[in-house]
Structure 1
Amino acid sequence: MKGSAKRFLGIDLGASSGRIFLGTLENGRLSISKIYGFPNQGVQIFNGLYWDTPRLFEEVKKGLRVAVENHGSSFNGIGVDTWGVSFALLDNQNDLVGLPRHYRDRRADGMLEKLVKKVPADELFRRTGIQPLQINTSTQLFTMVETRSPQLQVTEKLLMMPDYFNFLLTGVTCSEYTVATTSQLYDPFRRDWASDLVKRLGLNVGWFQKIIEPGAALGRIHETVEEQTGLDLETPVIAIASHDTAAAVAAVPVEEDVGGWAYISSGTWSLMGVELERPLISEEALRYGLSNEGGVFGTVRLLKNIIGLWLVQKALEQWKLERDAEITYDDIERQAEQAEPFAHFIVPDSSVFLNPENMVDAIQKYCRASEQEVPRDIGSVSRSIFEGLAFRYRQTLEQLQDVSEKPIESIYVVGGGSKNSLLYQFTSNATGLPVNAGPSEATVAGNILMQAAAAGEIDSLKALRETVKKSFNIKSFRPMMSSEWEEAYKRYLRHYEQQRTG
């Protein structure tokens, strides 16, 4: 670390909210504080679901004005992270050709099946290291080709979502590596866009911008941003690890002498994986549903996307409606802890739980259909979710272990879900491994510390993670009731097979 305190602004745009943080790095420690927040959700227009990017950028500028009002106009950097796969298309005037579509937009329904007829699933995986999914950038763009979208006739540039916000802040167009890898249009061996695949899908290679590494400086803010926010015109904008999961994994507080380890980036979704030096593309990885996404300092994140605390969030909405009373996550956790163990088995990422109108009813119907006792109260429903997630993590851990070169000896949990102590005690019990949970704001920490790396304050991933360890409290969990959990896991696997084959 060099010199006096450095101050950075981290813009963290999620699929349900946006937040702006002040990060201060001083004496090897990072402190963060939230400056501004706002909601984000898809906007339904007729049959389309869109991201309201103009409003989001207005909110970002409001947040920057709040930062200037409360903390002055001079900062050492600004960085933006967002979700992956979504993109913006620009014309020859650098104007949007239309509002960007939400990744849950229904226009791509059935298109993945057409796509894999044109380029087989195993070939897509071999070329990109990414599992074929309906939400992928590749599938969304293929949908536009197949439906002859007139937007493609005037498209000149494609920017992934964080790249688009970086463009709005600076006027510079480029593509940051970590988010580019989520597109299923990136070649991890050539470390560039998969131009042959782009052409086979009927797309124009010229739309895709130069790929830059995380931590690259884009330049100073645009003069219009200075005028509208009051920021110093010389404020640099950094292309951090702009995919939010990449930023979160950068901030995993791994001990220097730890052996093999896995991570869980925990929130609405759980992304569980291992960190590698090079992509792992094999038949086993394809069969297990694992994807290779870009990390920081030359790393690759081999991971699986598992449904996460979405089930609890949706169940909580229902309980609040039914009881007309305030129910907190602490209430749910306490009642789940008191409920009977291993009374109900669910597979959390079953399709019936993806977006039901009533999550509690969906869980009860699931148990009834699988000839189990039906959970009736908050404790039993929520415990079935937490146990189901813990068992699903163990399944994924075994798959990761099967393709990994060294034994996985510990698990690190980051993100908002890391605050759920019961879930991660269950995870330790189910896996038989120590679990270390925190920081809950890992994405923001990774965002800001990658800016610090660009400013010359951090020179390695090891140094970045040392800073995280010094700056945040980490909870540790050790396995308990191992024999009971082992027996219950065997029961879960039998249930899983019945659901898969039935």
Structure 2
Amino acid sequence: MLGIDWSEPIVKNIYVAVDIGASSGRLMLAEINRNQQIQIKEMHRFKNGFEKSDGHERWNIDYLIHEILTGLEKVKAAGYTNVHLGIDTWAVDYVLVGEDGQKLSNPISYRDSRTSNTIKALTSDLPKRELYKKTGIQFLDFNTLYQLYEEDHELLKKTNKIMMIPDYIGYVLTGKAVTEVTNASTTQMLNLRAGLFDEDLLNKVNVNDDQFAHLVEAGTPLGTISDNWMENFDLPVTEVITVATHDTASAVVGTPGHGDDWAFLSSGTWSLLGKELNTPENGQLAFQDNYTNEWGAYGTYRFLKNIMGLWMAQCVKRCYGNQYSFGELAALAGDEVPFQQFIDVNDERFVNPKNMIEEIQQYCRESNQTVPETPGEVMMAIYANLALFYANEIQELNKILNCHLNTLNIVGGGSNVALLNQLTSTLANIEVIAGPNEATAIGNALVQMISTGDVKNIQVGRKIISESFELKHFKPETGEYAGVLQRYQDFLNGHSKELV
């Protein structure tokens, strides 16, 4: 079933998943053992973040590439001389590459303020409903479409290629340029019907389709790491495979769901909650609720809502000077009573505030609610309102898709927060299956394994994942918090500002 005959001596394939998020990156080594299970091991971890430069918040892309090469040196030092490698990162951000093949500047972060009013400007003569019908992508002011609208026009004139972050990293490593579809779809520029960049939208932002490398599906071989890197670093022979390069797409691949009644929640810096579909859903209800149809691996679509997520908790941790671990903050939250205030966690004020604690407190003051003061109260306010938001969106999914979801698979770092998982299960009246927390790296590696033939297909792969990693189950606690979700929904709808 896996394509590996252990009865004969073999040279086993070794896979390296490069997984880079907004705050950190790592190289994870993956292989299939004799028990037909996937094993993963962290080989290298490094920090990531944006810094102000030339008036904008920018990523240091050269540093990220150097850290990948450093990590591969560690892989070689551990005795692995031949490996496959896949790269996934966050979405929407891009690198402009000139005629000489070199980047024109460091990429600007999606959290930069340059696009704060761009949706309104771009859609002044292009109705939102028409744009959504074209692309099926939700309206977020940091989508690539709006970033390119605000891009320096002189810089765009010098641009030979526009590359999404993971595609650029793969290009630098191998010299070969592609545009992988799972990440490209987040640009809000791919046409659902044509399967290509939409000409009208390209004209809106003064670029043409020749400025993008050709589109490829997840699982497409890219090439070997270039000789110049092999000469300057002690690297294993490395075959790069273009995986599902959007980290959420990889996380969904790595989610051990089965059947047709499960939803996913990729819980990290962002929370991405939705359902895997074989055909997109861009009807009126989906448009009104701002759901997105991001392209997935193997001809699927990730129909999901983008939610602020644990970014709020990460910011709070920094506000307290990192004196508490996430585990300690969760424990403090567990001592508090939930639902003492309602917060719209997707309010734009929480995207990049100067001080997240003060922003949460000010939100509560403005809405005449109890103000959280202690670390435990602040964290409980975050966890309780994330759970409320998740539960609300599960109801929306059922309504839009005319389905009944019985299971919510939570993967990523948030799968470790038992308090949040239990609150979500109870409020949404759904079974929560938490894990694996490393679903993104696992999904990255699984696409590589399918590409080489070590795993037959994604269905087989998900079964292997469920048998390879510990999963925790949470069931609804009957009778707990009756009516809270409805009052929260009233609050979001502006019908009520009353406390629980």
- Same fold at TM > 0.5: yes
- Assess if the C-alpha contact under 8 Å between 1:252 and 1:465 holds in 2: yes
Structure 2 CA distance, aligned partners of 1:500 and 1:61?
Answer: 54
Cα offset, 1:443, TM superposition: 0.5
What do residues 86-131 of structure 1 show as CA deviations (whole Å, max 9, x unaligned)? 1112122211122221112223232222111242211111111112
Structure 1 CA distance, aligned partners of 2:493 and 2:236?
Answer: 59
Structure 1 CA distance, aligned partners of 2:366 and 2:203?
Answer: 46
Say whether residues 1:273 and 2:288 are aligned partners. Answer: no
Cα offset, 1:69, TM superposition: 1.3
- Assess if the C-alpha contact under 8 Å between 2:111 and 2:351 holds in 1: no
Cα offset, 1:501, TM superposition: 9.4
Partner of 1:498: helix, strand, or coil?
coil
Structure 2 CA distance, aligned partners of 1:46 and 1:409?
Answer: 49
What do residues 440-473 of structure 1 show as CA deviations (whole Å, max 9, x unaligned)? 1100000111111111111211011012111110
Say whether residues 1:71 and 2:68 are aligned partners. Answer: no
Partner of 1:357: helix, strand, or coil?
coil
Aligned residue among 406, 409, 420 for 1:412: 409
Partner of 2:371: helix, strand, or coil?
coil
Q: Give the counterpart letter for 1:424 in structure 2.
A: N
What do residues 262-320 of structure 1 show as CA deviations (whole Å, max 9, x unaligned)? 11000111000011001111111111010001111211100110111122222222334
- Assess if the C-alpha contact under 8 Å between 2:412 and 2:440 holds in 1: yes
Counterpart of 1:238?
A: 241
- Assess if the C-alpha contact under 8 Å between 2:367 and 2:497 holds in 1: no
- Assess if the C-alpha contact under 8 Å between 1:125 and 1:286 holds in 2: yes
What do residues 134-176 of structure 1 show as CA deviations (whole Å, max 9, x unaligned)? 21111111112xx5x2111211111111110111111111111
- Assess if the C-alpha contact under 8 Å between 1:249 and 1:442 holds in 2: yes
Aligned residue among 192, 198, 211 for 1:194: 198
Counterpart of 2:385?
A: 388
Give the direction of change, closer, same or farther, for the CA distance of 1:196–1:293 in structure 2 (3 Å limit): same
Counterpart of 1:248?
A: 251
Counterpart of 2:451?
A: 454
Counterpart of 1:84?
A: 91
Cα offset, 1:52, TM superposition: 1.1
Aligned residue among 47, 64, 70 for 1:62: 70
Structure 2 CA distance, aligned partners of 1:458 and 1:191?
Answer: 27
Structure 2 CA distance, aligned partners of 1:349 and 1:342?
Answer: 17
- Assess if the C-alpha contact under 8 Å between 1:318 and 1:360 holds in 2: yes
Q: Give the counterpart letter for 1:496 in structure 2.
A: L
- Assess if the C-alpha contact under 8 Å between 2:143 and 2:186 holds in 1: yes
Kindly report which structure 2 residues correspond to 1:89-168, keeping only aligned pairs within 5 A, or say none.
89-144=96-151, 149-168=153-172
- Assess if the C-alpha contact under 8 Å between 1:83 and 1:244 holds in 2: yes
Partner of 1:119: helix, strand, or coil?
coil
Structure 1 CA distance, aligned partners of 2:243 and 2:496?
Answer: 40
Counterpart of 1:334?
A: 331
Paired residues in the alignment total 490
- Assess if the C-alpha contact under 8 Å between 2:30 and 2:445 holds in 1: yes
| Unmatched runs of 5 consecutive residues or more in structure 2 | none
Larger mean Cα displacement after TM superposition, 330-339 or 289-298: 330-339
Give the direction of change, closer, same or farther, for the CA distance of 1:89–1:362 in structure 2 (3 Å limit): closer
Q: Give the counterpart letter for 2:357 in structure 1.
A: V
Structure 2 CA distance, aligned partners of 1:412 and 1:276?
Answer: 15
Larger mean Cα displacement after TM superposition, 298-307 or 344-353: 344-353
| Unmatched runs of 5 consecutive residues or more in structure 1 | none
Structure 1 CA distance, aligned partners of 2:70 and 2:439?
Answer: 24
Q: Give the counterpart letter for 2:77 in structure 1.
A: E
Cα offset, 1:232, TM superposition: 4.3
Aligned residue among 220, 223, 226 for 1:219: 223
Structure 1 CA distance, aligned partners of 2:58 and 2:387?
Answer: 34
- Assess if the C-alpha contact under 8 Å between 1:73 and 1:230 holds in 2: no
Structure 2 CA distance, aligned partners of 1:342 and 1:371?
Answer: 14
Higher helix share goes to which structure? 1
Structure 1 stretches (4+) deviating beyond 4 angstroms? 499-502
Structure 1 CA distance, aligned partners of 2:347 and 2:495?
Answer: 9
Counterpart of 1:311?
A: 312
Counterpart of 1:18?
A: 25
Structure 1 CA distance, aligned partners of 2:56 and 2:127?
Answer: 28
- Assess if the C-alpha contact under 8 Å between 2:57 and 2:112 holds in 1: yes
Structure 2 CA distance, aligned partners of 1:330 and 1:201?
Answer: 44
> What's the TM-score, normalizing by structure 1?
0.93
Partner of 1:49: helix, strand, or coil?
strand
Counterpart of 1:29?
A: 37
- Assess if the C-alpha contact under 8 Å between 2:312 and 2:382 holds in 1: yes
Say whether residues 1:484 and 2:480 are aligned partners. Answer: yes
Kindly report which structure 2 residues correspond to 1:285-300, keeping only aligned pairs within 5 A, or say none.
285-300=286-301
Give the direction of change, closer, same or farther, for the CA distance of 1:364–1:102 in structure 2 (3 Å limit): closer
Say whether residues 1:301 and 2:302 are aligned partners. Answer: yes
